[in-house]
Amino acid sequence: MAQLDLRGGSSALCPTEDQLSLSRPGTAGPTDVGVGLFLNDVVALDDVTQSLTADLFLILRWTDTRLADPGRGSSQAVCTLPREAMWTPVVQARGLRESESLYQDISAIDAAGTVTFARRVIAEIAVPFDLRDFPFDRHTLAIEVETVFSSVDEVRLVPLDELSGIAERLSITGWILGVPTVAVDIQPAPRLQIDHSVFRFAVEMRRESYFYIWKAIVPLTLIIFMSWAVFWIDPQQIARIGLAATAILTLIAYQFALAGMLPRISYLTRADRFTLSSSILVFLALMEAVIASRLMRQGRVEASDRLDQYSRVAFPVALAGIIAFSFYL
């Protein structure tokens, strides 16, 4: 991001009341408004509420020759003019839930009347993600800024690549962010029955899955292994069934823990596939323990032993299929 230099200006060179106007400049055609967005930090990215809380620096730039003053020379007039005192493009972020400005808005005006409007905010924005690949999911984090009440024939947004970017260090953990891109598109606004400009700041992001591998997937796999111990325990031992039942209860507890990490979505994630399939596999191990014990009580020792021997092979093969189904298909 190029440095936005607001130093060296003088409030004495700010426009006078006679120069200020609430009407749009350049009424003969659309007013071009440059948009830059810099991501200072990601305060929070919540999977459950599907929201992004970010520290953002928004820059708007347009030319209003009515504000020109050759007396400024190469410097800029750094003014804290209220938005209601002069024409300022009205824009807002899509999916904005709430925002808080960190300081007063600043406008820097050069000799030609080019206005650079700067605002720093903490904003909470809705970011609906498709979580089907969780915890190995990738997303495009998109922050969109659109004109409000102004059609593309009135206000046309232009991306300011040099004033857009992302900080080198962010507070967010658990995600790896790529290089951001900016673009402007023309989209319909059905409620206003107009086409308007939409600025899009997008960055590819990938979830760091190691936390979920070591905290969820590996423990769940160990629980499955624990349930297989029944295949080596004498069917006459009551502990055989107790061990399988304990494995099921432990698995259910893990499912509740995982459920708190995600919103109540209507589809299965990859983690859901694994936990659900694991539950079925552990339940089948319990059923095998019951059947083998019953065969033993009926005096069918060979049948009970064959069932255990078959299960020692079939269940690991089934687990391999579950892993392939959950994480690779």
pLDDT in tens, 265-294: 888 899 889 988 988 998 999 898 889 888
- pLDDT for the residue numbered 254: 77
Two structure tokens written together for 10:
């003088």
Nearest 5°: CA angle at 138, between 133 and 140? 130
Give the dihedral of Cα atoms 292, 295, 296, 300; nearest 10 deg: -130
Per-residue model confidence as pLDDT tens digits over 187-219:
998 888 899 999 999 999 999 999 889 988 898
Question: Best-predicted range by mean pLDDT among 6-10, 37-41, 72-76, 115-119?
Answer: 37-41
DSSP label at residue 19:
T
Residues with Cβ within 8 Å of residue 294, at least 6 apart in sequence: none
Overall pTM > 0.85 = no
In 3-state terms the chain splits into helix, strand, coil percentages (rounded to 5) of 35, 30, 35
Domain 210-327 superfamily per CATH: Neurotransmitter-gated ion-channel transmembrane domain (1.20.58.390)
238 or 213: which leads in pLDDT? 213
Domain parsing of the chain, residue ranges: 11-207, 210-327
pLDDT at 7 over 60: no
DSSP label at residue 1:
-
- The answer to whether the beta carbons of residues 198 and 146 sit under 8 Å apart is yes
- The answer to whether the beta carbons of residues 195 and 189 sit under 8 Å apart is yes
CA dihedral for 190, 192, 193, 197, sign (positive or negative): negative
Section 137-151 average pLDDT = 93
Long-range residue pairs from 259-262, CB within 8 A, at least 24 positions apart, any chain: 260/48, 261/47, 261/48, 262/47, 262/48, 262/131, 262/134
Residue 187 bridge partners (DSSP): 196
- pLDDT for the residue numbered 9: 47
* Backbone Cα Rg of the chain: 31
211: helix, strand or coil:
helix
Two structure tokens written together for 297:
């009580």
- The answer to whether the beta carbons of residues 307 and 295 sit under 8 Å apart is yes
Section 41-48 average pLDDT = 90
From the list 139, 127, 160, the residue with the least C-alpha distance to 44 is 127
Give the dihedral of Cα atoms 203, 209, 215, 219; nearest 10 deg: 150
Q: What is the tally of helices (H) and strands (E) in the chain?
A: 5, 13
25: helix, strand or coil:
coil
pLDDT at 3 over 70: no
Region of poorest pLDDT, from 77-81, 129-133, 204-208, 325-329? 77-81
Q: How many residues does the chain have?
A: 329
- pLDDT for the residue numbered 97: 93
Per-residue model confidence as pLDDT tens digits over 90-99:
999 999 999 9
How far is 181 from 36, CA to CA, in rounded Å?
Answer: 11
- Band (312; pLDDT cuts 50, 70, 90): very high
Residue in the block written with tokens 């009135």: 154
CA distances from 30 to 48, 82, 91, 146 (A): 41, 23, 15, 15
Alpha helices in 40-152 (DSSP H): none
CATH for the stretch 11-207: 2.70.170.10
Region of poorest pLDDT, from 165-174, 259-268, 273-282? 259-268
pLDDT at 5 over 60: no
How far is 244 from 39, CA to CA, in rounded Å?
Answer: 51
